[in-house]
Structure 1
Amino acid sequence: MYLSYRLRALAAGAALMAGAALAQAQQALPNVVILATGGTIAGAGASAANSATYAAAKVPVDKLIAGLPELSKVATVRGEQVFQIASESFTNDNLLTLAKRVSALAKQADVDGIVVTHGTDTLEETAYFLNLTVHTAKPIVVVGSMRPGTALSADGALNLYDAVNVAASKDASGKGVLVTMNDEIQSGRDVAKAINIKTEAFKSQWGPLGMIVEGKSYWFRAPVKKHTMQSEFDIDQITTLPAVDIAYGYGNVPAAQYEAIGKGKAALVHAGTGNGSVADRAVPALQKLRSDGVQIIRSSRVNTGGFVLRNAEQPDDKYDWVVAHDLNPQKARILAMVALTKTRDTKELQRIFWEY
């Protein structure tokens, strides 16, 4: 009888120790907040065969987290539903609201990393905006999916698992805002959506920063452009964004397009062919807009590797124009909006485009 009592006591003690060890392990896990904004990663199709036909922004963040019990071994995770929209409907106000929430969370001692779930259509724009305006060294990871969770071979669950792993990793600190898609870790500055129906949709002309394999990050390079902690822009000091639009260059493009789109704007991004080329008939329209105070920014519409050289194709110094460097038109628009909250000087704007 004594032996039986002794065995029960030992078992109870072991259970208590195991429970204490589990509680300590959970206490030691990093704290990651998932901010959900909608998109395909929260989408649902009518059947498992629907990978491209579906309704975006249907699944709430709590269900996304509950569907990934593996996250509990990576971090202590909680979610907030910031928006529930398809990302093509994102507005400047959405950008400001999201960035201010990310900034507020980053200041909290009990937050080690932040994940933002996002639709892929404008994911690259939001990632770059956060990269420019949120002052923190803590990992911020933006993630989406190309297929809804209801589809065969859905990619959202693994993408989100990878994102939480990166956000929970000390190795990701100080590398700016990151994007995890298709097992790759991309810079939020460089990455762009290159195709719309494949899981390897997001690419950078400079290559990924690293890879994620079974939850472990492997790094190969680091970003050199200014971002987050080094940025001269701070979301906590930005309340509105200037009006910046994009005009698309193509064969037979009418000059009237530039006049109509650029009128009254703070800046106009020209999505030019090749090296940001401008049709001869469009040059006077852009010159007129510049004389009216509209900043003109030459970018390239080249899908996977635009790079605009100053004073090549057009005499930018003479016309007082800015070139977008290697930024695509949509990212040039993001940087122009942010930069114009600080300066309207063309030389200063060009410096910012070189440095960011």
Structure 2
Amino acid sequence: MDLKPNIVILSTGGTITGEAIDMLSTKDYVIGKISIQRLLQSTPSFQSIANITLEEIANIDSADMSNAIWLNLAHKTDNLLKDSNIDGIVITHGSDTLEESAYFLHLVLKSHKPVVFTAAIRPFSAIGSDAIKNLYNAISLAGHKESSHKGVMVVMNDKIYSAREVSKTHTLNLEAFNAPNSGAMGYIIDGEIFFHTMPLKPHTQDTPFNIQDLDILPKVDIVYSYCNDGSKVAIEAFVKVGSEGLIIAGSGAGSIHKTPKDYLRGLLKKQAIIVVKSSRVGAGLVPLTQKELREGFISANNLNPQKARVLLMLALSKTKAIKTIREYFKKY
């Protein structure tokens, strides 16, 4: 009797499928030249840990990830997880926007089964590639008996992260991912799984966000705040093209330069848009003053701007009530 878990790998492209121009290159490579099947065939160890099937969802640089691919990926993953013969899902992804895709699925999937994202910082054909190890660890985690009920997870460089907490914090180093506010959930050593923490915030089956009837996502954009800030022009443009919400990547604890902030106050007074204050710092909470609360600003809690955007899109698919959206940011 075959007791190995049944794991489906959904491929979306990224460096993990990249072929370097030469073995020393970590930046000059072509995405999509090496299939996940080839990675699996590179070592017999993969066959010993799971029964694996593959499906390609996309073959892109993750900088080109879109809402349409997100929705397709979420629908596909949800449907696969309903199959009693499938024990877990691994999603291979480019590292640049992995944290956003993982958090999106963390909020919308409706299953307790393991879903694990992984990527590579160095292409498979480059010296010191992390592609094989990360993929092996992700499959091991997706098939592990203790991996259920933990939401979407990310595996990079032998560490396990919650999709809500993880961020890419280095451009090229193999230790490219961290969870600045919480740390790793656990570790993987030679395929053995060690969990130390659990996600505390609700996810997957315990969120109100359901994409089954969604064909499009509300338009939400990000505006960066800086010295001598001229982002009022960008805000005007985003409003003109139909943005329903804006995430402000503020300085420090979410501070916004006075010129764009005055303009945002006017938009909030007219109820023209939803505005969420986040921070460009990368860690820590964003508090609101009593005046900001009265004006209608929303705190991103400790979500970075790109993840705050994910949550606001899903929030706006349910409601435009500021009070309710504030509660979403506190809870999820």
Normalised to the residue count of structure 2, the TM-score between the two structures is 0.96
Q: What aligned pairs does 1:69-148 form with structure 2 within 5 A after superposition?
A: 69-148=44-123
- 1:203 and 1:318 map into 2 onto residues whose CA distance is 35
| Residues 1:56 and 2:31 are matched in the alignment | yes
Structure showing the higher helix proportion among its residues? 1
User: Quick one: distance in 2 between partners of 1:57 and 1:355?
Assistant: 38
Q: Which residue of 2 aligns with 1:40?
A: 15
State the SS of the aligned residue for 2:20.
coil
Aligned partner of 2:188 among 212, 217, 222? 212
Aligned residues between the structures = 328
Residue 257 of structure 1 corresponds to which residue in structure 2?
A: 234
Decide whether the 8 Å contact of 1:114 with 1:140 is kept in 2: yes
Verify: 1:230 aligned to 2:206, yes or no.
yes
Moved more, 194-203 or 287-296: 287-296
DSSP-derived class of the 1:136 partner: coil
User: Once the 2 structures are TM-superposed, how far is the Cα of residue 292 of structure 1 from its aligned partner?
Assistant: 4.5
Equivalent in 273, 278, 286 of residue 294 of structure 1: 273
* Secondary structure at the counterpart of residue 58 of structure 2: strand
Is 1:337 aligned to 2:316, yes or no? no
Provide the rounded CA distance (Å) in 2 between the counterparts of 1:333 and 1:262: 15
Given candidates 252, 256, 277, the residue that maps to 1:278 is 256
**Alignment RMSD:** 1.2
Give 1:211's aligned amino acid. Y
Q: 1:249 to 1:45 in 2, by over 3 A?
A: same
What's the CA shift for 1:287?
1.7
Of the three residues 158, 163, 170, the one matched with 1:183 is: 158
Q: Which has the larger radius of gyration?
A: 1
Give distance in 1, aligned partners of 2:184 and 2:247: 26
Worse-matched range after superposition: 258-267 or 319-328: 258-267
Asked if structure 2 preserves the Cα contact closer than 8 Å seen for 1:245 and 1:262, the reply is no
Deviations 1:211-241 (A, max 9, x none): 0000011011000111011111122232210
* 2:216 counterpart residue number: 240
1:65 Cα shift? 2.1
Residue matched to 2:175: 200
2:296 — aligned with what?
Answer: 320
Unpaired runs of 5+ in structure 1?
1-23
| In 2: Cα distance, 1:204 partner to 1:235 partner | 27
Q: Contact 1:61–1:81 at 8 Å: present in 2 too?
A: no
Unaligned runs of 5+ in 2: none
Identical-residue share of aligned pairs (%): 38
- Helix, strand or coil for the counterpart of 1:289? helix
**Displacement, 1:317?**
1.4
CA contact (8 A) 1:306 1:328 kept: no
Give the whole-Å Cα distance in 1 for the aligned partners of 2:298 and 2:119: 32
Query: Cα distance, 1:101 vs. partner?
Result: 0.4
C-alpha deviations, 1:9-38, integer Å up to 9, x for none?
A: xxxxxxxxxxxxxxx2xx211100000000
CA drift at 1:319 = 1.1
